[in-house]
Amino acid sequence: MNATEQEEREYLEEIKEKLTLAIRRVDEAVKQFSSELRQKKQYIHEHQSGMDDADMVAAGQSIDRMAFTGEAAVSRKRKLFKLIQSPYFGRLDFAPQGKAGEPVYIGVHSFFDEQHRQNLIYDWRAPISSLFYDYELGDAAYPTPKGEVQGTIERKRQYKIRDGRLEFLLDSGVNIHDDVLQQELAKSSDDKMKTIVATIQRDQNAVIRNETAPVMIIQGVAGSGKTSIALHRLAFLLYRYRETIAAKDILIISPNKVFADYISNVLPELGEEHIPELGMEELAADLLDSRYSFQTFFEQVAALLDKHDSAFIERIQFKSSFEFLSKLNQYLIHVENNYFAARELRVGSTVVPAAVIQQKFKAYHRVPLLKRFAQVAQDIRTYVRDATGRKLTGREKSIIGEALPRLFRFNNVLDFYRDFYQWMGRPELLKLDHHRLHLEYADVFALIYLRLRLEGIPAYEHVKHLLIDEMQDYTPMQYAVLSRLFRCRKTILGDVSQTVNPYSASSAETIERVFPQAEVMKLHRSYRSTLEITAFAQRITPNPDIIPLERHGPEPQLIRCNSHSEELAAIQQAVTDFNGSGYHSLGIICKTQRQAEEVYQALQASDVQLLTPESTTFREGIILTSAHLAKGLEFDAVLVPFASARQYKTEVDKRMLYVACTRAMHQLTLTYTGELTGLLSA
């Protein structure tokens, strides 16, 4: 062991001692709080009868304060425990201009030594820590509230500390040393997404620390870590604006519950609370007051995979276009100008002229159309009262209240939606089951948009930051709804190459048209798969922008079988091989849910987890799923069964195959019977 390593090991022991001491102090403080809290409650219990209201309120507040301080202490203890496992992952020796260099140690949390009044470990989100991600040795600068601090980085070092033991250290002259990145990437995946604080790259750091963009759009290739970066961005914003924003003020729109479970670890690992998440369909059901049943996005894609229905495809394509949104906006102007037919109104002996009613209706042009009647009715009652010089009877008031809505062509949002297609001259584009009030998925957000414009829906004012993942799967109409409901800052991320429905895909450029103030960041470097797997996926959907990381592994395997039963036996064999492989996760990814269920029946294995649209958890091991549900997940090894020309032929099939193959980190195998799919010939 060299002198440098010896010094570092000694320093690590010193820090661990200080952390142990700090934990002991927190423990004592918690004990102290508990006993004070008990005494206080006991005192109130015994003296209740002699206390007035003011005393009771003061006592209640004091108990709340103590409980809050106790909770803060418990949370601090959690952070200290995490630090004892791995106190820091980086160090830089920074010399501000005109001063000597000081070592700055960087970890997941900060650690302040109360006794010597000095910061021993800096939180990775602190301004000074950005030096570690953004600069190599030499001149460097970091922002502070008082202005930029210029100086020189004299040393940069990285550590791997696990369970309090130093596994290795590296002096790195280059930006976040490739060795550490390679070691991290070569590891097996498990059942939760990891934090990437030790290996954040410069382009990723720019996205994470961006404080100015009202809307940030991250277009990242498969395996570029975009979801992880977005979550680290939330952790950074929670740290930076901790006075004004808490975890409960953020909302994540996630594609499904399994994915939500898969990413659930990242923020707690970074010391933040769990963030609320919602699926797009839960949001829709909420906004439609559960008045309608509707096809889900999963069912829409399943229908497209099932058979090629050109009328269905045409409906989806039109309703995913900008033209659809602008047509609906034109229709609303038409409604505003033509659907309110003011007629004169008799109230007792008073006649209210049509022009007066029309003028009152127009005066509320900022109020949603169907919400105006109550306000117009109030104005007309005032008009009649002034004309007669007396109070109105209940009967007269209700005559006015009932007459106004009748002057409007429709009073129901669904009637307007049907009429919209008549107005366009394209009634065939609406396919609605009238008996069950069942909507196609492509109609759900259009109906919500109409409801927003005609009835008004209260915005989600409590949400201060919205994160939208898998952005390519949402249409301009869905973004128009989100932009009206959520007035807060947004982080939107995805990859247009990973669309599961090519007929309704949105690119970063499409989304920018809804949010012209957005900043777009593109991430081209892929960290997930080996070079061999990335090259193989490029044969399905070539993406000239992708920059794979130089990490090698076995070539993807194509296994040809002579019959269906032989193919099922090959899948069974792959499961057996995996169990002795040392890998942690195997994804068996089928084109459809039906195929996944068939394989599940054939395997009859207790250690295989079948994912369905209803699944809520993701655990390591063998996962059997459809490509749609596998989006965003990653596995050490992936097996794609039934990759024959008969199974994979359409544009939708091609997207599914690309998503399936790009889930693999180290090993990829495809099995097929008959002829291999032509989608691999590129």
Kindly report, residue by residue over 71-90, the tens digit of the pLDDT. Answer: 777 778 888 888 888 899 89
Q: What is the pLDDT of residue 546?
A: 92
Nearest-5° angle of CA 79, CA 81, CA 85? 115
Q: What is the pLDDT of residue 656?
A: 93
Bridging pattern class, strands 118-123 and 111-113 = antiparallel
Q: How far apart are the first and last CA of the chain?
A: 52
107 or 72: which leads in pLDDT: 107
Task: Mark 168-200 as b/e (b = at least 16 C-beta within 10 Å).
Answer: ebeebeebbbbebbebebeeebebbbbbbbbbb
The residue type of 128 is I
Tokens of 81: 């425990």
Q: Measure the CA–CA gap between 459 and 42, rounded to whole angstroms.
A: 45
Q: Contact, 121 vs 105, CB < 8 A?
A: yes
What mean pLDDT do residues 28-45 have?
75
Q: Contact, 180 vs 198, CB < 8 A?
A: yes
Tokens of 3: 């002198």
Residue with tokens 């090993």: 667
Q: Is the model's pLDDT at 63 over the cut of 60? A: yes
Q: Contact, 668 vs 556, CB < 8 A?
A: yes
Strands (E), 487-541: 489-494, 519-523, 525-526
507 CB neighbour count, 10 Å cutoff: 16
Tokens of 70: 């106790």
The sign of the dihedral angle between the CA atoms of 14, 16, 19, 23 is: negative
Residue 365, judged by CB atoms within 10 A of its CB (0-12, 13-18, 19+), counts as exposed
Q: What is the pLDDT of residue 52?
A: 72
Tens digit of pLDDT for each residue in 531-547?
999 999 999 999 888 99
Q: Cα dist. 366→329, 336, 343, 362, 515 in Å? A: 15, 11, 22, 9, 22
Residue with tokens 């039906």: 594
Q: Cα dist. 395→348, 382, 614 in Å? A: 10, 15, 53
Tens digit of pLDDT for each residue in 125-173?
999 999 998 888 999 999 888 899 999 999 998 888 888 888 888 887 5
pLDDT confidence band for 101 (50 / 70 / 90): confident
Residue 58, judged by CB atoms within 10 A of its CB (0-12, 13-18, 19+), counts as exposed
Tokens of 549: 């990381």
Q: Measure the CA–CA gap between 540 and 543, rounded to whole angstroms.
A: 9
Q: Measure the CA–CA gap between 121 and 185, rounded to whole angstroms.
A: 26
What mean pLDDT do residues 261-274 have?
81
Picking from 57-66, 109-118, 276-285, which range would have the lowest pLDDT averaged per residue? 57-66
Q: What is the pLDDT of residue 33?
A: 74
What mean pLDDT do residues 444-464 have?
93
Measuring CA to CA, which residue among 160, 155, 159, 158 is closest to residue 136? 155
Q: Contact, 103 vs 91, CB < 8 A?
A: yes
Tokens of 424: 């366009």
What mean pLDDT do residues 203-209 have?
89
Q: Measure the CA–CA gap between 539 and 524, rounded to whole angstroms.
A: 17
Q: Model-level pTM?
A: 0.85
pLDDT confidence band for 195 (50 / 70 / 90): confident
pLDDT confidence band for 60 (50 / 70 / 90): low
Nearest-5° angle of CA 241, CA 111, CA 182? 85
What mean pLDDT do residues 567-572 have?
94
Residue 496, by phi and psi: left (phi above 0), alpha (psi -120 to 50) or beta? alpha
Tens digit of pLDDT for each residue in 599-636?
999 988 778 999 999 898 888 899 999 999 998 899 99
What mean pLDDT do residues 29-40 have?
75
Paired residues of 351 in beta bridges: 346
Q: Is the model's pLDDT at 559 over the cut of 70? A: yes
What mean pLDDT do residues 476-502 have?
92
Q: What is the pLDDT of residue 176?
A: 46
Tokens of 507: 């690119």
Give the alpha-carbon dihedral of 334, 336, 339, 345, to 10 degrees.
-160
Phi, psi of 159 (to 5 degrees): -130, 150
Q: Measure the CA–CA gap between 361 and 377, rounded to whole angstroms.
A: 10
| Helices marked H in 176-249 | 178-186, 202-208, 226-240
Q: What is the pLDDT of residue 271?
A: 76
Q: What is the DSSP string of 116-177?
A: TTEEEEEETTSGGGHHHHH--SEEEEEEETTEEEEEEEEEEEEEEEETTEEEEEEE-SSSS-
Cβ contacts of 493 within 8 Å, gap of 6 or more: 217, 218, 219, 220, 226, 227, 229, 230, 467, 468, 469, 471
283 or 68: which leads in pLDDT: 283
Residue 98, by phi and psi: left (phi above 0), alpha (psi -120 to 50) or beta? left
Q: What is the pLDDT of residue 321?
A: 94
pLDDT confidence band for 177 (50 / 70 / 90): very low
The pLDDT mean for the chain works out to 88
Picking from 33-42, 62-71, 360-369, 410-419, which range would have the lowest pLDDT averaged per residue? 62-71
